[in-house]
């Protein structure tokens, strides 16, 4: 092989092909993804006979009086929402978590949820940035075009530089002509970079639904929990505790802004993200 030849490494999409997800998608053909979740959503679709466990606020009293039995309104879950998966490709996201860079784990989680979103008839785009924007795909509208997202994700590159949140998020917002769900994968190690991130994410929340996805720092937690057997261990524990408090404060500030924070261990981030997406979709708060 020519040493100068370009070798493209595609992201891991094994979770998309997993039997568990395929069973979920198959079963969902009769539920929220292809049709609706009974009693949830925002767009009125039909009346159905009331059953125990349904939300009593959905009861249509006029129709119930006419038919001499209880009927409840069913609502269709929104479709055709715009979902943007935005990746910080800067220094912190290059660092490994259990042997793989954070960005690689983020891409795997994003592609899994993107596949479900396409099955749910939403529109999906990918956006990558570091010191400047790198990748912004057109919106993909059908699951058969999922491979286009996979190819685009393979072009996301790592950069040993700080991300420019001001430039990246302002350009993203300018390109979005309608309210969207923006899923931002990032991390932070110091208060200065976190402050810039919070400031710019706060502007996005004014127009869009924003989800901030971050992997729990297991190494930090281990240092905090480890027994302090000598002075070096004590010093490490004190530093780690301070960093953990700063981290918790940043995430709390994001929540106060209205950002939906998804924090989980690296091996659970995909499931937690999928749950968060489905919760937002059920609420009908995107469109």
Does 178 map to a domain?
yes
Give the separation between CA 108 and CA 150, rounded to whole angstroms.
10
Could you tell me if 111 and 246 lie in one domain?
yes
Do 209 and 261 meet the contact criterion of CB atoms below 8 Å apart? no
Could you tell me if 69 and 98 lie in one domain?
no
What confidence score (pLDDT) does residue 42 get? 52
What confidence score (pLDDT) does residue 10 get? 53
What confidence score (pLDDT) does residue 26 get? 52
Domain count, the chain: 2
Measured CA distances, 174 to 177, 179, 212 (Å): 7, 11, 19
Could you tell me if 120 and 214 lie in one domain?
yes
Could you tell me if 111 and 250 lie in one domain?
yes
What is the enclosing helix (H) or strand (E) of 150? helix 146-154
Alpha-carbon torsion 87, 125, 14, 151, what sign?
Answer: negative
> What is the pairing mode between strands 209-215 and 260-264?
parallel
Could you tell me if 234 and 211 lie in one domain?
yes
Could you tell me if 156 and 255 lie in one domain?
yes
- HEC secondary structure over 63-78: HHHHHCCCEEEEEECC
Does 19 map to a domain?
no
Do 73 and 58 meet the contact criterion of CB atoms below 8 Å apart? yes
pLDDT tens for the chain, residues 1 to 287: 555 554 454 555 555 555 555 555 555 543 444 444 444 555 555 677 777 655 576 688 887 888 778 877 766 556 789 999 999 999 999 999 988 999 999 999 999 999 999 998 999 999 999 999 999 999 999 999 999 999 999 999 889 999 999 999 999 999 999 999 999 999 998 878 899 999 999 999 999 999 999 999 878 778 878 887 788 888 888 888 888 899 999 999 999 999 999 999 999 999 999 999 999 988 888 87
Burial class (CB in 10 A: 0-12, 13-18, 19+), 194: buried
Does 147 map to a domain?
yes
Give the separation between CA 119 and CA 182, rounded to whole angstroms.
18
What confidence score (pLDDT) does residue 257 get? 97
Q: Provide the 8-state DSSP code for 34.
A: T
Does 158 map to a domain?
yes
Do 35 and 76 meet the contact criterion of CB atoms below 8 Å apart? yes
User: Helix, strand or coil for residue 191?
Assistant: helix
Does 97 map to a domain?
yes
What confidence score (pLDDT) does residue 230 get? 82
Could you tell me if 129 and 70 lie in one domain?
no
Do 108 and 271 meet the contact criterion of CB atoms below 8 Å apart? no
The CATH number that applies at residue 274 is 3.40.50.410
Could you tell me if 181 and 246 lie in one domain?
yes
Residue where a domain stops, chosen among 76, 105, 124: 76
What confidence score (pLDDT) does residue 29 get? 46
Find the domain containing 64 and state its range: 38-76
Could you tell me if 234 and 162 lie in one domain?
yes
Do 74 and 36 meet the contact criterion of CB atoms below 8 Å apart? yes
What confidence score (pLDDT) does residue 37 get? 40
- Residues paired with 49 in a beta bridge: 71
Does 122 map to a domain?
yes
What confidence score (pLDDT) does residue 247 get? 92
Does 27 map to a domain?
no
Tally Cβ neighbours within 10 Å of residue 106: 31
What confidence score (pLDDT) does residue 254 get? 98
Tally Cβ neighbours within 10 Å of residue 94: 17
């Amino acid at each position: 092989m020519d040493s100068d030849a370009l070798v493209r490494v595609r992201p891991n999409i094994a979770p998309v092909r997993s039997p568990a997800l395929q069973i979920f998608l198959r079963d969902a053909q009769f539920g929220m993804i292809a049709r609706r979740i009974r009693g949830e959503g925002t767009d009125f679709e039909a009346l159905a006979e009331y059953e125990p466990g349904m939300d009593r606020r959905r009861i249509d009293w006029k129709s119930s009086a006419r038919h001499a039995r209880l009927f409840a309104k069913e609502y269709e879950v929104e479709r055709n929402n715009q979902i943007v998966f935005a990746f910080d490709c800067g220094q912190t996201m290059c660092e490994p978590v259990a042997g793989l860079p954070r960005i690689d784990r983020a891409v795997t989680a994003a592609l899994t949820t993107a596949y479900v979103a396409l099955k749910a008839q939403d529109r999906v785009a990918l956006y990558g940035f570091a010191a400047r924007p790198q990748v912004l795909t057109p919106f993909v509208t059908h699951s058969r075009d999922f491979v286009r997202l996979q190819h685009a994700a393979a072009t996301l590159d790592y950069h040993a530089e700080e991300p420019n949140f001001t430039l990246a998020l302002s350009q993203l917002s300018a390109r979005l002509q309608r309210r969207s769900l923006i899923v931002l994968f990032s991390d932070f190690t110091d208060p200065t970079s976190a402050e810039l991130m919070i400031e710019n994410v706060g502007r996005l929340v004014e127009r869009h639904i924003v989800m901030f996805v971050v992997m729990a720092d297991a190494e930090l937690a281990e240092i905090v929990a480890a027994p302090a057997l000598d002075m070096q261990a004590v010093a490490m524990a004190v530093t780690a505790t301070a960093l953990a408090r700063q981290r918790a404060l940043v995430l709390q500030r994001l929540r106060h802004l209205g950002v939906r924070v998804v924090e989980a261990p690296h091996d659970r981030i995909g499931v937690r993200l999928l749950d968060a997406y489905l919760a937002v979709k059920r609420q009908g708060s995107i469109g």
